[in-house]
């Protein structure tokens, strides 16, 4: 089920205008700021869906505007005709595609929705990119495509990928469609497998945000399983650096202009260790509420980042403790502004 990945076929044109999908979200808003700080023209597409608060997403966009001006389009990627007209008007040099229906557990409850948004939306975007001659396409994939495996750390050319949630399956399907369009139409494409990204603006449904919020309020945190489940937590700034490196990448000759890179920290941390670090950073004692493991959860994620280090110059620099301190400062300042 794995994709055979070789090097990239050459696209050497300079990128001046980036179109970013999902730019109002957690990772996307940080990528948007980084693009603007480079002095590039930016167009952002986001549907502002209600998976979590649209108000929070609008606040993210206001934060991005402090870094520079950009054009915003509130568009559903499933609306092909509106998407086509928007891309025709924007005429970007490169597309960074981060928009997706997120979450492993919700995808089990609504698999058709995840397929429609994540697979159908990605195919729509690739087709419009083909029609308008976009030659660089960066796709935000996920470590969840590896599924349950005894082969750690995870390597991009693993020939046996077994996703165990609809969300993971949609991300793997997105990678296959990216490869297909790269092969047929020479759209130089990078798929980036993100590993448990955290930091300021993190979604409220994700573990670190959920745990810290509950601990701050003196409430119990849900701990699924025995606490030894491992995750390769990656600070958002490090992930953003990898995304921009993928846009910049000078592609050597190859048969198909396509490749895949892991963007992780390569230091998996157990759930118990994460909670202990949060206790240290917040000064709060976590009250654990033990629960059974949930369907779709994998026992460990662990990125081998040798390939990204070698080919993208990707080097994550943020230790977990430092990243959590920065996240908690943001969380507390955000709550303070809201409460006032």
Active-site positions?
167
User: Contact 92/43 with Cβ under 8 angstroms?
Assistant: yes
- Dihedral sign computed on CA atoms, order 96, 98, 99, 100: positive
Residue in 127, 334, 138, 103 with CA at minimum distance from that of residue 239: 138
User: Which DSSP symbol is given to 144?
Assistant: G
Residue in 119, 121, 112, 103 with CA at minimum distance from that of residue 167: 103
Long-range contacts of 51-56 (CB under 8 A, 24+ apart): 51/101, 51/102, 51/103, 51/106, 52/203, 52/204, 52/205, 53/204, 56/201, 56/204
Q: Give, in order, the Cα–Cα distances in Å from 22 to each of 31, 165, 324.
A: 10, 21, 24
Round to whole Å and give the CA distance between 200 and 206.
Answer: 12
Q: Give, in order, the Cα–Cα distances in Å from 320 to each of 77, 115, 222.
A: 34, 33, 21
Give the phi and the psi of residue 322 in degrees, each rounded to 5: -65, -45
Round to whole Å and give the CA distance between 45 and 28.
Answer: 10
Round to whole Å and give the CA distance between 279 and 215.
Answer: 8
**HSE-up of residue 154 (Cα within 13 Å, Cβ side):** 34
Residue in 190, 185, 77 with CA at minimum distance from that of residue 130: 185
User: How many degrees, rounded to 5, is the angle at CA 13 between CA 9 and CA 17?
Assistant: 120
Please report which residue ranges of 10-94 form alpha helices under DSSP H. Answer: 26-37, 54-65, 80-90
């Amino acid at each position: 089920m794995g994709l055979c990945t070789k090097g990239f076929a050459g696209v050497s044109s300079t990128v001046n205008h980036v179109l970013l999908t999902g730019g109002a979200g957690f990772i996307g808003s940080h990528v948007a700021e980084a693009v603007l700080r480079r002095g590039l023209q930016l167009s952002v597409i986001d549907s502002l869906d209600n998976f979590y608060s649209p108000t929070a997403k609008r606040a993210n966009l206001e934060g991005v505007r402090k870094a520079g001006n950009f054009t915003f389009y509130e568009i559903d990627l499933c609306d092909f005709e509106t998407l086509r007209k928007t891309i025709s008007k924007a005429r970007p040099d490169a597309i960074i595609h981060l928009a997706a229906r997120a979450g492993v557990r919700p995808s089990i409850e609504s698999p058709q929705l995840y397929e429609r948004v994540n697979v159908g939306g990605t195919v729509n975007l690739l087709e419009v990119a083909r029609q308008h001659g976009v030659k660089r396409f960066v796709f935000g994939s996920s470590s969840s495509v590896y599924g349950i495996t005894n082969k750690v750390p995870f390597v991009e050319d693993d020939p046996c990928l077994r996703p165990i949630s609809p969300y993971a399956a949609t991300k793997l399907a997105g990678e296959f469609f990216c490869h297909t369009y790269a092969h047929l139409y020479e759209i130089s494409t990078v798929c980036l497998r993100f590993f448990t990204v955290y930091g300021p603006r993190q979604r409220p449904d994700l573990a670190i945000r959920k745990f810290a919020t509950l601990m701050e309020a003196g409430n119990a945190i849900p701990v699924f399983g025995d606490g030894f489940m491992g995750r390769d937590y990656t600070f958002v700034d490090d992930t953003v650096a990898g995304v921009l490196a993928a846009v910049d990448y000078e592609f050597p000759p190859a048969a198909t202009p396509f490749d895949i890179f892991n963007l992780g920290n390569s230091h998996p941390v157990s759930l118990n260790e994460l909670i202990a670090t949060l206790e240290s950073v917040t000064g709060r004692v976590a009250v654990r509420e033990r629960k059974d493991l949930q369907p779709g959860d994998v026992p460990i994620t662990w990125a081998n980042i040798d390939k990204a280090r070698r080919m993208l110059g990707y080097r994550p620099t943020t230790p977990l403790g430092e990243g959590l301190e920065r996240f908690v400062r943001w969380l507390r300042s955000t709550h303070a502004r809201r409460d006032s």
